[in-house]
Amino acid sequence: MRIRPRLLALGMAPLLFLALGCAPVDSSTPDAGEDPTTSDSTSAAAEADPAACAAEAVRTPGTLTIGTDSPAYDPWFSKNDPTNGEGFESAVAYAVAEKLGFTGDAVQWTKVPFNSSYAPGEKKFDFDINQISITPERAEVVDFSDGYYQAAQAVIVLKGSAGEDVTSVEELKGLRLGAQTGTTSLTAIRDVIQPDSDPIVFKDTSAAKQALLNDQVDAILADLPTAFYITAVEIPKATIVGQFQPETGEQEEFGMLFEKGSPLVECVNQALAILRDDGTLASIESRWLSDVVGVPELTP
């Protein structure tokens, strides 16, 4: 099932709620009814038994090993601790684990740097969850689950700076832009914005934020939920001037990443289908990513 991304709006109450974190999501959300847009194949997958499927598909019998980067940022993870079940991706990971038949104490987390997660070769995890966009290039050497989140790109500037009055993608061309390496934010700069000068590439989001504060760039790009957290909590003197969905290729989706040929992919897709059909994914997204309205769409 493909869902158009919901527009998010900046409200301090939900953002502070994200920053403080709260108890892990109960993945046994009551059945919210069948989504009329769900495909027959998705419904069929939801009728399967992901726990039976996963028992023989994991690397270590009785253990589900999940990879993510460190530090693990809000709102995807809370308090830099993926094991606490707090934050959107931690909550999704544990909800999937439960459907696969693994209790919390049977889940083992391992540190995987973002760029190495989608490199070819043997993996030390069953799947990696770390805002990894599904792209054809990456899918040549690793496997992905069905998408669990669709993200818009957001443009972050300092209040009062040259970029604060931007209203279109075209107006971004003359700015000094930057983004984390290996992200679709960086791809969006290069392929969609096509700025007059080469974008500045950063190792991680922390380096990008510091560059913005140091006036090394006029604007940085990030997915919209991350942009909300940056501007509300980490850099209050920054603001989101707009958002856009790259129109090149298919819509950006985050997927869980697997070693090429992993038999666990089908099992996870079965689990995601169940969580999508019973409303659990939507509930987790609303809880941790603040489902409200407001950031303007940038015109072409």
- For the chain, give every domain's residue range: 12-150+253-289, 153-244
Single-letter amino acid, residue 84: N
CATH number for the 153-244 domain, one of 3.40.50.720, 1.20.210.10, 1.10.340.70, 3.40.190.10?
3.40.190.10
For residue 73, how many C-alpha atoms fall within 13 Å in the half-sphere facing its CB? 17
pLDDT at position 194, please?
96
CATH code of the region 12-150+253-289: 3.40.190.10
Distance CA 209, CA 175 (A): 16
Residue that has been written with the tokens 């960086």 in this structure? 186
pLDDT at position 251, please?
67
Distance CA 238, CA 230 (A): 8
Contact (CB, 8 A) for 154 and 227: yes
pLDDT at position 133, please?
87
pLDDT tens by residue, 152-165: 899 999 999 989 99
pLDDT tens by residue, 276-300: 999 999 999 888 886 444 688 899 9
CA-based nearest residue to 146, from 37, 273, 282, 9: 273
Distance CA 200, CA 229 (A): 22
Other Cβ atoms within 10 Å of 60 Cβ, number:
10
pLDDT at position 220, please?
98
Contact (CB, 8 A) for 285 and 88: yes
First-to-last C-alpha distance (Å) of the chain: 27
Q: What is the CA radius of gyration of the chain?
A: 19
Q: Is 261 left (phi over 0), alpha (psi -120 to 50) or beta?
A: left
pLDDT at position 58, please?
98
Per-residue pLDDT in tens (0 to 9) along the chain, 300 residues = 333 333 333 333 333 333 333 333 333 333 434 443 344 444 444 467 999 999 999 999 999 999 999 988 888 999 999 999 999 999 999 999 999 999 999 999 999 999 899 999 999 999 999 999 898 999 999 999 999 998 889 999 999 998 999 999 999 999 999 999 988 899 999 999 999 999 999 999 999 999 999 999 999 999 888 898 899 889 999 999 999 987 654 567 899 999 999 999 999 999 999 999 999 999 998 888 864 446 888 999
Domains 12-150+253-289 and 153-244 alike in fold: yes
pTM above 0.75, yes or no: no
